[in-house]
Structure 1
Amino acid sequence: MHGVDLHTHSNISDGTLSPQQLIAAAAELSIHTLALTDHDSMDGIALAQEAAKNHGIKLISGVEISSQWSRPATKKSYAVHIVALNMQNPAPMAALLAQQKNIRAARSKQICELLIPLIGEDIYTDVIAKVDNVPDRVTRTHIAKTLVEKGYVSRPQQAFDKYIKEGKKAYVKFEGLGLEETIQVIHASGGFAVLAHPTRYDLSATNIRYLIEIFAKFGGDAVELPPAIDPSSTRQMVDRMIAEHGLKVSVGSDFHGENMPWMKLGNIPSLKPGQVGIWESFVNPSPALTA
């Protein structure tokens, strides 16, 4: 366990704890620096702020942005998540997130429409009920859980495997901002850009290395270290790329609560000698928290 966790989710996106409950859970684990990084939304930060003060936790403004990148030799684009941390000027980020929310809302409705001929039912009303009828908060996890509750699959992963992951009939790509543009917006917001979970995109080792290379080329600041469950060879590869490109590191559990119970809050990997944590560069306090 560690006192810093810079990648967590609340029920503002696809987590199961409210922002306040997340803070309370972090306090129980003696986490002193926490970033709330919901998908394409910072709406939970204001809710978490008072609780963080009461528990003596340094709350870092954060958001996990759905972005995309491609290799010049191919036309295929790949999804990538960029965690923005410690924003000092919320205006540029707010404009980006408004755009991302519109994309997310339209995508969830389209997925549900594609599911109709596959399951014989429109589940959209049930899906948005899970997010207090706020369409831009819907993720595929909410759709998967609805499919479980209605008996079309027995567990959420089966919903992905059968219907909504890439290559399946109800898959809809998230047409997010490009990687370079995403990093530019984060920097315009006075924040730090972190490449989230680089080993979890079903990429070959060659593509992981290339992704880290172009992330650094575009001005990215840090790479999130792989979890301890990854093979040691994978961690070694990521460590080499971090050193080669002079990047800092970030640590985060990617905690989602009951939706992904194997990801434990505060359970983060250790730094290797010579690695520098991005949190050492944070400005305190973060004005974006009260914007």
Structure 2
Amino acid sequence: MEKYIDLHIHSKYSDDGEFTPIQLVEQCYKAGIKIMSIADHNSVKAIDEAKEAAAKLNIKYIPGIEIDCTYNGINLHILGYGIDYSHDDFVILEKNILKQELECSKEKVKLTNMLGFDVDQVALDALSDNGVYTGEMFGEVLLNDQRYNENTLLKPYRSGGERGDNPYVNFYWDFYAQGKLCYTEIVYPTLKEVIDLIKGHGGIVVLAHPGNNLKGKFKIFDEMVELGVEGVEAFSNYHSPETVEYFYQVGKKHQILITCGSDYHGKTKPAIELGECHCTIDEHDIESQLKEYKLI
């Protein structure tokens, strides 16, 4: 199926993104993508740059953001599309989370070293533009540190290893995600607060990659719709065919917006290609929905 729409892309304004907004627009153009959205983590900085570049290449651009939040103890990612991104509320959100991430980064260094490493601080700082250290960065530094070439804990993440397809983000998921050994807690807004924020600024609320966040708890999504979630990223690179079909049918049942997104980051997720959304329907049907929701 052609690559036509990708509504979940990350730029360098996400701590784990590789490319500038303009580079991403150019990549979308080369890939044949006609409708795109950069949805950075808790940040709207990419939007103006990307909108201007997309307009020059005749690409329809939807302003977006991906906000971390919690619901019943589960960490979630909520996509906000079509938002009035010029409002100070989004600046306040980013500053609040950045402040916490800077503190957590110091703790991550200690926790990582407790695994038996001596993290190369210079190499870590070279990867970070703002002092925030992500789990992906720790993975990149350790996997490229010759002192640990034979380290057994890192073996699964090397070429040919069982976690070697997306080594950096897999290292994050295995050690720094919620409930893992190097997890550091950030106080994110609640799902209800994020719904109110996005809707309060004219946006549409969509749950990102639900199969990835709601592992084994898919029924919870029905509660989220009652709370105010207006869409679901049924077509996601992370979803199995069964998960795609489940959330596609759930989306149709609730008569909500059904979207597709690759969650493209670049080097932290090298196995993910731009426009790779596991979409099983004609993407022009998604385009029609986007028009109904006045997003394009």
TM-score by length of structure 2 reads: 0.81
Identify which of 260, 277, 294 aligns with 1:282.
Answer: 294
Q: CA deviation at 1:274?
A: 8.6
| Amino acid in structure 1 at the alignment position of 2:44 | M
Cα RMSD after superposing both structures: 2.7
For 2:58 and 2:285, how far apart are their aligned partners in 1? 29
2:234 equivalent in structure 1:
225
For 2:295 and 2:174, how far apart are their aligned partners in 1? 45
| Amino acid in structure 2 at the alignment position of 1:221 | E
For 1:228 and 1:254, how far apart are their aligned partners in 2? 7
The CA deviation string for residues 30-53 of structure 1, in whole angstroms up to 9 with x for no partner, is 212210111112222233233222
Stretches of 4+ moved more than 6 A in 1?
272-276
Q: CA deviation at 1:229?
A: 7.3
In structure 2, the CA distance between the partners of 1:64 and 1:261, relative to structure 1 (3 Å rule), is same
Q: CA deviation at 1:78?
A: 1.0
1:93 aligns with 2:90: yes
The CA deviation string for residues 56-84 of structure 1, in whole angstroms up to 9 with x for no partner, is 222221111111111xxxxxx11110011
1:84 aligns with 2:80: yes
Contact 2:136 2:168 in 1 (8 A): yes
Identify which of 206, 218, 233 aligns with 1:208.
Answer: 218
2:6 equivalent in structure 1:
5
Tell which deviates more after alignment, 174-183 or 141-150: 141-150
SS at match of 1:66: strand
2:106 equivalent in structure 1:
109
Q: CA deviation at 1:218?
A: 1.5
Identify which of 139, 143, 149 aligns with 1:144.
Answer: 139
Unaligned segments of structure 1, at least 5 residues: 71-76, 285-291
2:40 equivalent in structure 1:
38
Tell me the number of residue pairs that the alignment of Structure 1 and Structure 2 aligns: 273
Identify which of 59, 62, 83 aligns with 1:60.
Answer: 62
For 1:229 and 1:100, how far apart are their aligned partners in 2? 25
Q: CA deviation at 1:221?
A: 1.3
For 1:232 and 1:173, how far apart are their aligned partners in 2? 32
For 1:128 and 1:172, how far apart are their aligned partners in 2? 19
SS at match of 1:177: coil
For 1:263 and 1:158, how far apart are their aligned partners in 2? 13
SS at match of 2:63: strand
SS at match of 1:35: strand
Q: CA deviation at 1:24?
A: 0.4
In structure 2, the CA distance between the partners of 1:161 and 1:22, relative to structure 1 (3 Å rule), is closer
1:181 equivalent in structure 2:
193
Percent identical pairs in the alignment equals 24
Q: CA deviation at 1:265?
A: 1.0
| Amino acid in structure 2 at the alignment position of 1:178 | T
2:17 equivalent in structure 1:
15
TM-score by length of structure 1 reads: 0.82
